Structure 1
Amino acid sequence: MPELKNLAILDDYQGVTLKLGPWDRLPGLTKTVFRDTIADQDRLVERLLPFDAILAMRERTPFQRALIERLPNLKLLMTTGERNRGIDAAACAERGITFSGTPSFGAPTVEITIGLIISLARKFPSETASLLAGRWQSGLGTTLEGKTLGVVGLGKLGSKVAKVGQALGMKVIAWSQNLTEDTAASHGATRVDKATLFAEADVVTLHLILSERSRGVVGTGDLARMKPTAFLVNTSRGPLVDEDALISALKGGRIAGAGIDVFDIEPLPAGHPLLSAPNTLLTPHLGYSTEENYRRYFTGAVEAIEAFNAGAPIRVIT
């Protein structure tokens, strides 16, 4: 099998990919880094057509069947992380394209989640702005101890967030479509129905995989059930929440605020309504963006290329 010659590294917003991976192990491979995201498929095809290998950063650029079928030179498509629902694995297989993942480091999204929760409760953004403007202690935050944390999705990440919530002295309740009482109890949480979770939680945090079943799982009715003093935090995927309903709830003061790390459209366009919505703490999808995680990603990508060149692909996603 001929060795790969041309690698496209996509959506390297921070310009760090080549600094954080052992790319010197691939001296015969031409590496081209793209730091922007192209949504227009014709322009994207024109960009990617020359490459026989592509490294995609999470779901920043989706690879659906219509795109994959227009890339006849592509032999290896890699995603950072163990899975990527933005890439059509079946289409890759049908076209004879190897689709591989990489290892990741820990669960850094948990840290972003807890950071957003604490920052909202203790009003870090407004208090910092007040201090920089020359004022001192302009408002009062709220303590999390004794409050109720509602976890939507008690899997790998949600269960870790639940443990931190418990360490902060919070009562933890949880819901997802497949969650059982026994599983919830094993993580120190109480399973409740969806309506109860949104009505009782002081903080609602989302940790579901985006699928057709979970898309829009948080809608107008759910937000209407929340306490006016409650916060919504989403570090999972933007489309889990009806964005228009969330903006309306924030502007109407129906919830106390929202911490959002993920959006329907990324990067978030200038002038987007969420940018001017009140009582929000917005971060640019930082959940997985740590040096340790990136080093693991890019080492895994080098390993995947070496394995492909040796005729024994690794971490193949089907």
Structure 2
Amino acid sequence: MTATQTRPAPGATGSPVVPGAPRRARARNSMPYLLLAPAVLALIVLLGWPAVNVIVTSFRKLDLGELTRGEITWIGFDNYTEILGDPDFWTVVVRTVVFTASIVAATVFGALLLALLMRHVPVLPRAVLQISLLLAWAMPQLAATTVFQWIFDQQYGILNKTLVLLGFESFAGSSWFATGASTLTVVGILIVWQAVPFVAMTLYAALLGVPKDLYESAGIDGASGWQTFATITWPHLKPVLMIVTFLSILWDFKVFSQVWAIREGGPNGGSTTLPVLQYLEGIAGKHFGLAAAVSVLMVLVLVVVCAQYLRLLLRSQEVEL
């Protein structure tokens, strides 16, 4: 007769215990955190510590004299009181928010049209368009700013000369930088021109992920172009569109180089935005504590704007669900 042996279930009393198994399990579970630790530490050192220094500096009087003598003078919320009590600051805040919203909307709308165009044109025109977008995106900011200054120049700009040749005589010698609004319009066109390529290529990549079978089914069912876009293209494109819109808000809110290079926030401060104000108070005015307070307030404004955008985004997703 053959004796039948029953093997005890794992974890039951009398089951063999592998030496070091709990230790290896803990090591295996902690391995992802150990791999992420260097990156987290680098972010804390490179981003967290400077941010803390900016906040601490905003509570100090740190002008050129204090910086040279190495003095530490704590003044509490005096920097914030001075900034918030200045009516010009709130004008700059409203101008920055409106300017950011305008160029983000123009960027996303133009990029969406270009992405849809690349989706439907033949191979050769699409290649030419993509190369043109890549060249516009790769052009250095200051070089592009110089080109736009010549295009919109009052005397020698090609735009005024072209408009005059088309019969618009009133544009002869017209200055596009006479007011803050017109200056920001030129800056906005420049920013949109350089921002559209990245957003358009991202949306085009998202369009390539839409199954062609869905478009074929819509064509068989007799759906119009708008119906096809609303029921097929838009649902697949919306998540990517929301992401690039969010990124555009972050990037365009802190634009400095183009605004400063065009007219240094002029004329008469009419094109000054929050990043330019920060530079004028800190580097140009040598009021580093005041500039740090502007930086903190700028981050708070950006947090409020992004929070409102994320709230609307989450609400729209809840409605769809």
For the criterion TM > 0.5, the same-fold answer is no
| Structure with a larger share of its residues in helix | 2
Q: TM-score range by the shorter chain?
A: under 0.3
- TM normalised by structure 2 equals 0.20
- TM normalised by structure 1 equals 0.20
